Amino acid sequence: MDTVTTLVLGFISIVVVNNLVLTKFLGICPYLGVSGRIDMAFGMGLAVTFVVTLSGTLTWLIDHLILMGTPFEVTRYVCFIMVIAGAVQLVEMYLRKFFPSLYDSFGIFLPLITTNCAILGLCLFINLWGIDNLAEAVVLSFGAGIGFTMAICIMAGIRENLNLANVPENLQGAPITLITAGLLSLAFMGFAGMIR
């Protein structure tokens, strides 16, 4: 029972309280780049969720079964980035084969998931927080993906309406998006301190 509570709390905390995009600034590039339309934002969110779950789990396993306590610990970052690049390659091949239209609409952003800070960031945070059981690592990685999807979808919804608003000329595009993100993160600050 105790483990289940920890897992549920961990999940909620990573989705809303410690949301990677709005409180840790991870994954801002796709957040600004792909959040123009809500369907694309959702697709991107799902792709990131898949990659982050896979790589979060794999990096935890590699870290704990192979690297920890050996001199090879210095190669941690290199190993992490290899795993992530491999997982992205997998998603890319899968999408190209089964969802060609979605694959085309992603364009350059798909290979760029490799360099999405949210994914490497999560792997590093799992290492930093000293998560020492596999189930928790899996739940946290999955929750991080869901949190990212949620943030990017909310943003896409706001931006679709922003197109109709009268924004000062110099603030159009990226500046107003950042200011919107600021207000959004102000709203999410309300969750701070709820857990941990």
DSSP string, 141-184: HHHHHHHHHHHHHHHHHHHHHHTTS---GGGTTHHHHHHHHHHH
Which residues in 26-55 contact other proteins (CB under 8 A)? 26-29, 32
Among 3, 37, 61, 75, which residue sits at the site for other proteins (rule: CB under 8 A)? 75
Give me the torsion for CA of 10, 11, 13, 16, rounded to 10°: 180
Per-residue contact track with other proteins, 110 to 149, x per CB under 8 A?
A: -xx-xxxx-xxx--xx--x---------------------
**What is the C-alpha separation between 195 and 6, in angstroms, rounded?**
11
Among 38, 81, 138, 153, which residue sits at the site for other proteins (rule: CB under 8 A)? 81
Contact residues for other proteins (CB under 8 A)? 22-29, 32, 74-78, 81-82, 85, 111-112, 114-117, 119-121, 124-125, 128, 168, 170-171, 174-179, 181-183, 185-186, 189
